[in-house]
A and B are shown apart, each in its own frame.
Chain A
Amino acid sequence: MQTAISVEQIRKDFPILQRKVRNDKSLVYLDNAATTQKPIQVINAISDFYTNHNSNIHRAVHALAEEATEAYEMTRDKVAQFLNIKDRQEIVFVRGTTEAINLVAYTWGRQNIKEGDIIVTTEYEHHSNIVPWQLLTQEKKAKLEYIGIDDNGELILNHLDQFLATGKVKLVAVSQMSNVLGTITDVASIVEKCKKVGVRVLVDGAQSVPHMKVDLSTMGCDFFAFSGHKMLGPTGVGVLWAKKELLEQMAPFHGGGDMIREVHKYETTWNDLPYKFEAGTPNIADVIGFAAAIDYLNNLGMDYVRAHEVEITKYALDKLSKINGIKLYGTPDISKRGGVISFNFADIHPHDLATIIDEDGIAIRSGHHCAQVLMEKLDIAATSRASFYIYNTKEEVDVLINSLARAARLFKL
Chain B
Amino acid sequence: MSSNADIYHEMIVDYSRHPSNFGKIENPTISYHDSNPLCGDSIDIFMNVENDKVSDIKFHGRGCAICMACTSVLTEIVKGKSIEDVRKIQKNDVLGELGLEQLQAVRIKCALLSLKVLKYGLYSYLASKDTNADALKQEASSLY
Contacts and interface: CB of A to CB of B under 8 A. Distances in A.
Contact of A367 (B7, B17, B40, B66): B40
Nearest to A403: B5
B8 interface: yes
Given A358-B4, A368-B40, A351 B13 contact: no
Contacts of B110: 351
A412 interface: yes
A349 B99 CA distance: 20
Contacts of A23: 3
Interface string B1-34: 0011101100001001100000000000000000
Given A349-B65, A411-B8, A412-B13, A381 B40 contact: yes
Interface string A80-93: 00000000000000
B62 A381 contact: yes
A7 to B, nearest CB: 29
Contact of A410 (B8, B17, B39, B64): B8
Contacts of A411: 8, 13
Contacts of B62: 381
B91 interface: no
- Main SS of chain A's interface residues? mixed
Interface string A353-382: 001101100000011100010010000011
B95 to A, nearest CB: 16
A29 to B, nearest CB: 17
Given A358-B4, A410-B8, A411-B8, A352 B64 contact: yes
A399 B63 CA distance: 27
A22 interface: yes
Contacts of A262: none
Contacts of A372: 40
Residue from B3, B16, B64, B110 having most chain A Cβ neighbours under 10 A:
B64
B17 A22 contact: no
Interface residues of A, number: 23
A410 B13 contact: yes
B38 interface: yes
B64 A359 contact: no
Interface string B67-94: 0000000000000000000000000000
Contacts of B17: 347
A359 B3 contact: yes
B39 A355 contact: no
A401 to B, nearest CB: 17
A359 B39 contact: no
Contacts of B3: 23, 359
A349 B4 contact: no
Nearest to A412: B13
Contacts of B40: 367-368, 372, 375, 381-382
Contacts of A347: 16-17
Nearest to B3: A359
A367 B39 contact: yes
Interface in A1-44: 22-23
Interface in A163-178: none
B13 A359 contact: no
B39 A351 contact: yes
B8 A352 contact: yes
A46 B95 CA distance: 44
A347 B17 CA distance: 9
Nearest to B66: A352
A358 B5 CA distance: 9
Nearest to A381: B40
Given A356-B4, A381-B40, 10 more contacts: A349-B64, A350-B64, A352-B64, A352-B65, A356-B8, A359-B5, A367-B38, A368-B40, A375-B40, A382-B40
Closest 4 A-B residue pairs measured CB to CB?
A349-B64, A351-B64, A359-B5, A410-B8
6 contacts: A347-B16, A352-B16, A352-B65, A358-B4, A359-B5, A381-B40
Interface of B: 3-5, 7-8, 13, 16-17, 38-40, 62-66, 104, 107, 110
